[in-house]
Amino acid sequence: MGQTLSEPVTRKDSDEGSDKRVMFGLSSMQGWRINMEDSHTAIPCYSNTNASFFAVFDGHGGDSVAKYCGKHLHERIFHSQPYMDQRYRDALRWGNLVIDEDLRQDPSLREDTAGCTAVTALLTRDNVLYVSNAGDSRAVISTRNGKAIPLSKDHKPNDPLETARIKNAGGYVEFKRVNVEDEDALTRPMVCDDDVLGSLALSRAIGDFGFKTNTQLSPEKQAVTADPDITEHEMTDLDEFMVLACDGIWDFAKNDLRRNNGLLFS
């Protein structure tokens, strides 16, 4: 399982906050990893815009990419022309792709081998929720009548659409993992749960530049891309709460928020 500790770090770092429209709570735990590789963003009201922004970044191969995204992705989105034009889908997509390019162009990060998933939630002043996802972190809404509404889809290499893009970019899928015919990729760090040298268990992520080496293709068409799927959901009084979480949580919760309230919110 890559580099791990002999015993997990179970201390939880938690926080909560609110404004006149939303309340939030957050918690993170290092677990078995050598270092805490995940990051998050929680902004109940951004700069008097009446828009809320929340995000979870599940890092792998190091913490640099996840931490960078936690600090800067929302700034890129809120300051973008699409956001100012109220083209929120375009703003979220642009944010993912441009932060990926920012990392590639940063002299201190361009050679970094880390990557991260990114699941983000933008709640506009009109109470429309936009969820952007790249990777296998998830966003799920729980309703007052006991239903769980998934707002994201996991991006796995064995998904037919993902496999087609991977192959077109010169990669291949083996044991449900992305592999590329690139000697540099063989120096990639171990990643995720069942690690295989030079391979990745995700088909979309920010960072992971060893899997984005086809110079003939755009960023959206690389074997691993930061290009997100985006879901739009109009909030109603039936919607009670939303959970953004890394895949480790969902391995236990299985999207069943009601049954797992004790797990998610204790």
User: How far is residue 263's CA from residue 252's CA, in Å, rounded to a whole number?
Assistant: 8
Q: Between vectors from CA 115 to CA 121 and to CA 122, what angle results, nearest 5°?
A: 10
Domain assignment of residue 19, yes or no: no
Distance of alpha carbon 44 from alpha carbon 18, whole angstroms: 6
CA distance 56 to 95: 14
Of 16, 26, 22, 19, which is closest to residue 244 (Cα–Cα)? 26
Q: Which of 98, 104, 219 is nearest to 169 (CA)?
A: 219
What are 55-106's pLDDT values in tens digits?
999 999 899 999 999 999 999 999 999 999 999 999 999 999 999 999 999 9
pLDDT for the residue numbered 30: 74
* Residue 59 belongs to domain with CATH number: 3.60.40.10
Cβ–Cβ < 8 Å for 171, 141: no
User: Do residues 229 and 223 touch, judged by C-beta distance below 8 A?
Assistant: no
* Whether 20 contacts 34, CB under 8 Å: no
Tell me whether residue 29 is in a domain: no
Domains: count for the chain: 1
Residue 75 lies in a domain: yes
Side chain identity at residue 185, one-letter code: A
CB burial class (10 A; 0-12, 13-18, 19+) of residue 66? Answer: buried
Name the residue type at position 116.
C
Structural domain contains residue 15: no
CB within 8 A of 15, min separation 6: which ones? Answer: 25, 26, 27, 42
Q: Is residue 213 part of a domain?
A: yes
Query: Which uninterrupted H or E stretch holds 105?
Result: helix 88-105
- Per-residue DSSP letter, 192: S
Is residue 10 situated within a structural domain?
no
The verdict on residue 1 lying in a domain is: no
- Cα→Cα distances 180→53, 111, 198, 210, Å: 34, 17, 8, 8
Residue 148, number of CB atoms within 10 A of its CB: 17
What is the C-alpha separation between 46 and 104, in angstroms, rounded?
27
Span 185-216, pLDDT tens digits: 444 433 433 343 468 999 999 999 999 999 99
Residue 7 lies in a domain: no
Helical pair 88-105 and 64-78, crossing angle rounded to 10 deg? 140
Q: Which residue has the higher pLDDT, 109 or 249?
A: 109
pTM recorded for the entire structure: 0.87
For 241-254, write each residue's pLDDT tens digit: 999 998 777 666 66
Q: What mean pLDDT, rounded, does the chain reach?
A: 86
Show the domain range for 66: 37-265
Q: What is the largest CA-CA distance in the chain?
A: 53
